[in-house]
Structure 1
Amino acid sequence: MSEPTPTLVFHDLRAESAELDRLVAELDAERWALPTPAPRWTIAHQIAHLHWTDRAALLALTDGDGFREVLGKALAAPDSFVDEAAEEGARIPPAELLARWRQGRAALDEALRTAPQGSRFAWFGPPMSAASMATGRLMETWAHGQDVADTLGVVRVPTGRLRHVVRIGVRARDFAFGVRGLSVPEGEFRVEVRAPSGELWAYGPSDAPQRVTGPALDFCLLVTQRAHRADLALAATGPDADRWLDIAQAFAGPPGTGRPARESGR
């Protein structure tokens, strides 16, 4: 499939954020404190984390020295800085946290759209273009939005915006192996997932012996570790592809612990 344009990614990030905003905008303080599937995180923690990361992305785009300071603090506490930042933000009154998140999103949207073409910006992993930065923010917004939706018992209608999550999940294959100290498989995999529209999104050589197939939504839930493989309709052909479905991870940082299977004994 064709690569998405930067303008489309920016537009889709704005839309994804707005969808999550609608889920939390009318919640009272008691519901902001509801526990989500992420251990020890409430809805407030989820939004606080997105706000913190949006601010970090804004610094990366507009204030290199400021971002390096944030990066230094993260490297000094790699196993705790995400939870600490979410905990600090979750203590902010919900109405104020919501307002800050909205303001931060708007500032980041402007910075992404006006970033010099061809520029790359420091990040917690390799340097990123503005479009790649937006893709990462969309992936995180969708994933944390899924936690909020699950907490509220809301079934979200999948959209074509999932293409960005699929793409970053496919591109993060080698990272998922490497972060666990595993040898990276040789050669590309073929990934074929069915979009919500019915379109087939395909990546990698059509004749690759290692293959993954299934619904795009299920692939996104897998690579963001929002659901256990046993609960998803994904199929792997080949031992390396099969192993990947056990460890897939689209987000940066140490290996994620994932979510338990819904089925007992799995």
Structure 2
Amino acid sequence: MADSKSAPVLADLHVVSQALDDLVDRDGLDWSAATPAAGWTVAHQIGHLAWTDEKALVAMRTPEAFGDELRRALAGGADYVDAAAHAQARKPAAQLLAEWRAGRAALAEALTGAASDTRFPWYGPPMSVASMATARLMETWAHSLDVRAAFGLAPEAGPWLRHIARLGVRTRDFAFGVHGLTPPAAEFRVELRAPGGEWWTFGPEEAEQRLTGDALDFCLVVTQRADAAATGLVAVGESVSTWLRVAQAFAGPPGRGREAGVETPRGEEP
């Protein structure tokens, strides 16, 4: 059984995954539709999620073999993920959907059954069960944004954003470091308005450098689905402003981000 830390994340991961599943499992839906990620269609997005779930299973089931995966990723450089997504996208939509469903079910079972103190290798620092579940939640939600944007749909926001917001705060120093910058010594105060209207707070209340705004905006920025300048986030302090330019809640090399000024899509369900 999942422990008290991972169980809520796993439950929210299922909710977010199923929402994306419901969106793409529709007769006549165009899986070749372009998404905001350059060169990526809806098929690329689902294929990438299936591929990453598979890699997470390798890390959990045969952690001793994950070193080979890291060497392949290093050799592939910046094109490694794109190459895998292109290979996945060549599969029929029905096959991709079936593989994603099977993979995420297997991963959920593995995460539920894993001991809470186990740590698994990954493309960044080793992951605990709760951290792996949170990372999968973050990435599934982020790629669902791309799929929704392909059809002009607004991002979905819900209580699960708290996990992503917390991850965004916790990865602050990683984001600075991966961009070749020295992380600030002091913690920031982060105050975010949740979808339900309450406030989520992180860091010491007396901190001089502060960030305030909407939780959805913050999650869009740390998943690099929006430029901070296009949001209502308010930064107090030079280091906080720098953080918003480099923030990324995902492992790997620096992300490419999104163009400044891109508006949040609005629309109806396809």
For this structure pair, what is the TM-score category when the shorter chain's length is used for normalisation? over 0.9
Tell me the distance in 2 between the aligned counterparts of 1:27 and 1:87: 23
Per-residue deviation at 1:117? 2.4
Q: Is 1:18–2:45 an aligned residue pair?
A: no
Equivalent residue runs for 1:70-89 within 5 Å: 70-89=69-88
Tell me the distance in 2 between the aligned counterparts of 1:197 and 1:110: 30
Identical pairs, percent: 54
Match of 1:32 in 2: 31
Per-residue deviation at 1:155? 2.3
Tell me the distance in 2 between the aligned counterparts of 1:156 and 1:227: 11
Tell me the distance in 1 between the aligned counterparts of 2:115 and 2:49: 24
Match of 2:268 in 1: none
Tell me the distance in 1 between the aligned counterparts of 2:88 and 2:136: 18
Report if the CA contact (8 A) 2:227-2:262 is conserved: no
Per-residue deviation at 1:27? 5.0
Match of 1:120 in 2: 119
Per-residue deviation at 1:68? 2.8
Tell me the distance in 2 between the aligned counterparts of 1:164 and 1:263: 25
Equivalent residue runs for 1:71-220 within 5 Å: 71-220=70-219
Per-residue deviation at 1:76? 1.4
Match of 2:266 in 1: none
Q: Is 1:230–2:229 an aligned residue pair?
A: yes
Per-residue deviation at 1:72? 2.1
Match of 2:5 in 1: 5
Letter in 2 for 1:216: A
Per-residue deviation at 1:157? 3.7
Q: What's the CA shift string for 1:98-143, capped at 9, x where partnerless?
A: 0000000100000000002211111111111111001000000010
Q: Which runs of 5+ in 1 are unaligned?
A: none
Tell me the distance in 2 between the aligned counterparts of 1:190 and 1:211: 5
Letter in 2 for 1:204: G
> Matched residue of 1:201: which SS?
strand
> Matched residue of 1:256: which SS?
coil
Per-residue deviation at 1:67? 2.7
Tell me the distance in 2 between the aligned counterparts of 1:50 and 1:163: 21
> Matched residue of 1:257: which SS?
coil
> Matched residue of 1:92: which SS?
coil
- The root-mean-square deviation of aligned C-alpha atoms, in Å, is 1.5
Question: TM-score, normalization: structure 2?
Answer: 0.93
Q: Which runs of 5+ in 2 are unaligned?
A: 264-270
Per-residue deviation at 1:156? 3.9
Tell me the distance in 2 between the aligned counterparts of 1:70 and 1:28: 36
What is the count of residue pairs matched by the alignment?
260
> Matched residue of 2:190: which SS?
strand
Question: TM-score, normalization: structure 1?
Answer: 0.94
Tell me the distance in 2 between the aligned counterparts of 1:76 and 1:102: 29
Report if the CA contact (8 A) 2:116-2:130 is conserved: no
